[in-house]
Amino acid sequence: MKIKFSDNFLFGTATAAHQIEGDNKWNDWWYYEQVGKLPYKSGKACNHWELYRDDIELMAELGYNAYRFSIEWSRIFPEEGKFNEEAFNRYREIIELLLEKGITPSVTLHHFTSPLWFMRKGGFAKEENLKYWEQYVDKAADLLKGVKLVATFNEPMVYVMMGYLTAYWPPFWGDAEKAFTVEANILRAHRIAHELLSGKFEVGIVKSLPLIRPLSPASAEVAREVDNLQNWYFLDAVFSGELKTPFGTVRTGEGDADFIGVNYYTLHLIGNVDPVEGLYRYDFGGYGRTQMGWKICPEGIYAVLKEASRYERPIYVTENGIATLNDAERIDFIARHLYHVARALRDGVDVRGYFYWSLMDNYEWDKGFEPKFGLVEVGANFRRIPRESARFYGTVTRERRLELNHGEEPTP
Ligand code: FCB
């Protein structure tokens, strides 16, 4: 069967500063990498900080018309009140090069990493620290000229869960009640950034939205609450200003989002546990097929896109991808997910773009360089080697259509 996408649909790839740039020495992740609290060091990562011109050239050659990346707060403000003009100018150059090549930039302001000095003051756990965030956002307003899409935060709930609830990631907290305080402050930070930047840019939020379902009918109610806690209460609060948490409702202030970014990878099946526990205790349906152990569930993207359309805002699939050593599997993954994105479009969901994670293999946080998410392999001396999937995706983006050989997918 054939699928057709409109001419203005964005087809891009996604990356994040700490995962590709290299030498991001001023943030909390780098610090914990050095002191041995994290199993892998990002080091030079993909050396994108030096090879950015080649990378943009490559994207253009491959035919992608959009690119999502993040700017690193700690490069722009390595110390409290100290502005780094060189970093600012480098990001400017990246944006200008993208625009020159006709690639629509989509920029994330916070993608998991924060300046070490900010974290030493308590980071997002303290509401009074939002003044530092405001200074950064203010600078970003100058930096981002010409950019269309600006996302304030990447996956706020993943950030909160990994760093403050399970304590697998910096800053290794492990305190459920405080985790929800951090979530509330991130909502406030989003509101501040939206107020400062909206009008000049389309300012949205990027949310991880796994498909969350009960392991058996007996856990239907728990699964619904986990789904709300992980996927929807945050988004509800962006608009309503009231954040529901297991510890009561917190007033964060009414705000807005000009678009919703959906990061979709997999399905979480929830058993009979406490809903807060359900945030990090789940099952991938008996088998994990990717290098991350994540189940491949293409029809889930249709379900979450439909559910996210309740906010009546444009939606971008800001991340979708697979870590695999088998590139044919990547091609199949992309085709199947795009099929379900097309179904959502056909059913009236306002999806305006799709960004594959990731342009190239990179530093996958606490998993290091092992998982291969890239359309492009990074070889010795950082050589970029496009895989077959990079060409396949390029053909899709140029022709704006796709043929599926395996017929209809099941409907969730
Ligand atoms: C997402 C992150 C991204 C990357 C992918 C695999 O949760 O936003 O940085 O690590 O997962």
pLDDT tens digits, 114-161: 999 999 999 999 999 999 999 999 999 999 999 999 999 999 999 999
Domain annotation covers residue 412: no
Domain annotation covers residue 410: no
Q: Is the pLDDT of residue 232 over 90?
A: yes
Structure-block tokens of residue 141: 């307003």
Nearest residue (by CA) to ligand 1, atom 4, is 364
Q: What is the mean pLDDT of residues 358-364?
A: 99
Nearest Cα to Cα of residue 383 among 360, 357, 358: 360
Query: Containing H/E element for 11?
Result: strand 10-14
C-beta 155 within 6 A of ligand 1:
yes
The per-residue pLDDT for 2 is 78
Atom of ligand 1 nearest to the CA of 16: 9
Q: Is the pLDDT of residue 241 over 80?
A: yes
Q: How far is the CA of 286 from the centre of ligand 1 (A)?
A: 22
- CA gap 259, 48 in Å, rounded: 28
Structural contact between residues 77 and 84, judged by C-beta atoms closer than 8 angstroms: yes
Over the stretch 7-61, which tens digit does the pLDDT of each residue have? 999 999 999 999 999 999 999 999 999 999 999 999 999 999 999 999 999 999 9
The per-residue pLDDT for 409 is 53
Domain holding 345: CATH number? 3.20.20.80
Crossing angle (nearest 10°) for helices 85-100 and 48-62? 10
- CA gap 340, 334 in Å, rounded: 10
Structural contact between residues 69 and 16, judged by C-beta atoms closer than 8 angstroms: yes
C-beta 362 within 6 A of ligand 1:
no
- CA gap 290, 319 in Å, rounded: 16
What is the CA angle 68-73-76, rounded to 5? Answer: 110
- CA gap 205, 258 in Å, rounded: 8
Domain annotation covers residue 411: no
Structure-block tokens of residue 95: 């944006």
Q: CA of 29: how far to CAs of 16, 74, 97, 332, 337, in Å?
A: 13, 11, 28, 33, 31
Domain annotation covers residue 64: yes
**Best substitution site from 110, 231, 357, 375 to test ligand 1's pocket, by max atoms within 8 Å of Cβ?**
357
Q: How confident is the model at residue 403 (pLDDT cuts 50, 70, 90)?
A: confident
Structural contact between residues 112 and 365, judged by C-beta atoms closer than 8 angstroms: yes
C-beta 361 within 6 A of ligand 1:
no
Task: Go through 98-114 and write b for each residue having 16 or more CB atoms within 10 A of its CB, e for each that does not.
Answer: beeeebbbbbbbbbbbb
Atom of ligand 1 nearest to the CA of 321: 6
Domain of residue 292: give its range: 2-403
Q: How far is the CA of 69 from the centre of ligand 1 (A)?
A: 12
Domain annotation covers residue 288: yes
* pTM, to two decimals: 0.97
C-beta 320 within 6 A of ligand 1:
no
Q: How far is the CA of 144 from the centre of ligand 1 (A)?
A: 23
Per the prediction, the chain carries an average pLDDT of 96
Domain annotation covers residue 274: yes
* Active-site entry in 33, 183, 319, 364: 319
Active site residue 319: yes
Q: Is the pLDDT of residue 69 over 60?
A: yes
- How many other CB atoms sit within 10 Å of the CB of residue 368? 13
Q: What is the mean pLDDT of residues 81-89?
A: 98
C-beta 16 within 6 A of ligand 1:
yes
Strand-strand pairing, 384-386 and 104-110? unpaired
Nearest residue (by CA) to ligand 1, atom 10, is 364
- CA gap 115, 107 in Å, rounded: 18
Q: What are phi and psi of 317, to 5 degrees?
A: -80, 100
Domain annotation covers residue 252: yes
C-beta 158 within 6 A of ligand 1:
yes
Residue 408 burial (C-beta neighbours within 10 Å; 0-12, 13-18, 19+): exposed
Q: How confident is the model at residue 408 (pLDDT cuts 50, 70, 90)?
A: low
Residue 142 burial (C-beta neighbours within 10 Å; 0-12, 13-18, 19+): exposed
The per-residue pLDDT for 412 is 41
The per-residue pLDDT for 406 is 55
The per-residue pLDDT for 289 is 80
Residue 283 burial (C-beta neighbours within 10 Å; 0-12, 13-18, 19+): middle
- DSSP character string of 280-327: T--B-TT---STT-PPP-THHHHHHHHHHGGG-S-EEEEE-----S-H
Q: How far is the CA of 337 from the centre of ligand 1 (A)?
A: 17
Q: How many domains does the chain have?
A: 1
Q: How far is the CA of 107 from the centre of ligand 1 (A)?
A: 15
Domain annotation covers residue 123: yes
- CA gap 175, 193 in Å, rounded: 27
Q: How confident is the model at residue 1 (pLDDT cuts 50, 70, 90)?
A: confident
Atom of ligand 1 nearest to the CA of 158: 7
Q: How far is the CA of 263 from the centre of ligand 1 (A)?
A: 8
Over the stretch 290-331, which tens digit does the pLDDT of each residue have? 999 999 999 999 999 999 999 999 999 999 999 999 999 999
Q: Which residues contact 241 (CB under 8 A, 6 or more apart)?
A: 251, 252, 253, 254, 255
- CA gap 246, 225 in Å, rounded: 10
Active site residue 399: no
C-beta 136 within 6 A of ligand 1:
no
Q: Is the pLDDT of residue 255 over 60?
A: yes
